[in-house]
Amino acid sequence: ERTDPVALPELSPWRRPLYRARRQISALPTTAMEQLTRYPLSCVLSYLSETEGTSLLITNKRYARQVLPLFRQAPSNLVVNGQKAPNRHRFLVMPVQDATILLERLNTRRLCQRQKKTSSEASDPLYTRCYTTAELARLECQERPNGLRIPTRVPCLLRFFNAAERAFWREQQVNGAGGGVTLLASYPRSGNTLVRTLLEKTTGLVTGSDTRPNRNLSRELAERHDLVGEGICSHDNPSADTDDSIASFVQMMTPFIKTHWPERVGCRTFRANRVILIVRNPYDAMDSYWNMNATCSHTKTVTDQVYQQFATFYEGLIRNEIDIWMKFHHYWCHTIQKETSPIPLLVIRFEDLITQPAVELQKMLQFSNVGSSDSQTLDQAWLDRIDQVVEGNRIDRLGSYQPRCQDMESSSAATTAPTAKQTAHVSIGKSLAKGRYTMEMLDYIHQTCATHARERYDNVNYLQKFGYDIQEQDFPKNFSSSDDSDTSTPNRALGFSSSATSSRAR
């Protein structure tokens, strides 16, 4: 920014910086304009007249081919002198911002917040030098001779893979010691965002998603909940003269990618090497899915009056979604495992994650080989990092998606923060406690799961397999054990190994 005073006309305060930028735009050399990324360029174009903006774009080959079509308006039926009117353009700020820009803004906010709380950090020589936030995110991490860097601060600055990390990750896969992409697969509203938040806080790596970044829900995650990797799932512009598997590693940005496939189709197709399947009881998952559709938000909840007003529609959604819930988990647990090369699978239950996040985080890092090149062990440095992130299993360490319930409001005034163990069981099965399901609806859910298990799924009832059967397993009371060593249904009862060793050997 210019430090010398600039005479400004009588403009509203929010337009003055824009006017200053417009006055200086003519002084920018051509090379500087060509170095602008998409979002800053769109800001410049949005304050130019249509003639000026079009002139700027059509006189530059790169802009004319890559940028000009982004601002084309829908074709009109206007006919002038017997000919159809030409294409028109309107230059507005791009509604979808680059993930790199969102990441830089997020890291800047975190850095400022940390320096306000810690005076020693503000005087640290590391932060007084002219480093970018991307460089600081790597310099803050502890270097390891045979693995990825480990963040040392909470909250840490996030980063994408750089060239050296991409090369290491490719070497890991070539040697059969890990590498590649780990899918975070889940039925909607099953805790995928919570898993992404915990992985980002632990590893310092941005997690991706195969959803379109311009969706309202995706923008909410990126802008309000700091998940800036929305839409980051493919390896763009692979070289035409290289093998696909090699080219994918050249452009790889993150090792974790969220997906709801096959429940819904993502925006791109990409390769993956292993799957972490995140499971949640269907009662809470379907009820949360209803709230997300009704409010177009991840965190808002409709009132009881809305439930009563749309009771018929709500029941119809539940009857439809329980079938989809069964199909989804049968695909990942059975169908895909029957292929010639079955993909390694790790099952993580949402109920276990909010009860003992440190244990489940350790399983996920060990399974994805982020914490160690040896799938049987996890380095002590990563174990210490997990303890640092989920300090005392505090519920306020779990990110934007804390388990919410009515009883939590009365306990918010307590002097000490409640632990995950103390509040998780109140959150488990909360839709049942609130009376969202009638006895007829619950009977239909259990009968449908039992019937589909006999007729479609080789006698596998996934409601019972994951410990969510109310009639046979007394859910959710089977998750309310006070003994830390025996919480809920044991993992071995799931029928899937929770260890990375067995999953990789499969």
Q: Is the pLDDT at 16 greater than 60, yes or no?
A: no
Query: What is the reported pLDDT for 345?
Result: 95
471 pLDDT tier (thresholds 50, 70, 90)? very high
Q: Mind listing the pLDDT tens digit for each residue in 209-231?
A: 999 888 889 988 988 889 999 98
Residue 338: CB atoms within 10 A of its CB come to 7
Q: Is the pLDDT at 89 greater than 80, yes or no?
A: no
Q: In sequence order, what are the residues at sequence separation of 6 or more whose Cβ sits closer than 8 angstroms to the Cβ of residue 12?
A: none
The answer to which of 82-96, 117-131, 143-157, 484-498 has the lowest mean pLDDT is 484-498
Query: What is the reported pLDDT for 56?
Result: 77
CA angle 323, 497, 266 (to 5 degrees): 45
The answer to which of 18-22, 252-256, 371-375, 477-481 has the lowest mean pLDDT is 18-22
Query: What is the reported pLDDT for 505?
Result: 31
The answer to which of 39-43, 334-338, 394-398, 467-471 has the lowest mean pLDDT is 394-398
d(C-alpha 256, C-alpha 233), whole Å: 9
Q: Is the pLDDT at 267 greater than 90, yes or no?
A: no
Nearest CA to 182 among 383, 369, 378?
369
State the chain's mean pLDDT as an integer.
77
Query: What is the reported pLDDT for 416?
Result: 45
| Percent of the chain predicted with pLDDT > 90 | 36
For 99-108, what is the mean pLDDT?
86
Q: Is the pLDDT at 340 greater than 80, yes or no?
A: no
Query: What is the reported pLDDT for 284?
Result: 96
Instruction: Count the helices and strands in the chain (H runs, E runs).
Output: 26, 7
Nearest CA to 97 among 202, 260, 232, 289?
232
- pLDDT higher at 19 or 449: 449
Q: Is the pLDDT at 201 greater than 90, yes or no?
A: yes
Fold type of domain 179-397: Rossmann fold (3.40.50)
Buried b (16+ CB within 10 A) or exposed e, 209-245: bbbebeeebbbbbbeebbbbbbbbbbbeebeeeeeee
| This prediction's pTM | 0.75
Query: What is the reported pLDDT for 120?
Result: 65
Q: Is the pLDDT at 73 greater than 90, yes or no?
A: no
Q: Mind listing the pLDDT tens digit for each residue in 291-322?
A: 999 999 988 899 999 999 999 999 999 999 99
d(C-alpha 441, C-alpha 290), whole Å: 15
Query: What is the reported pLDDT for 407?
Result: 40
Backbone angles phi, psi at 147, to 5 degrees: -175, -175
270 pLDDT tier (thresholds 50, 70, 90)? confident
For 399-424, what is the mean pLDDT?
45
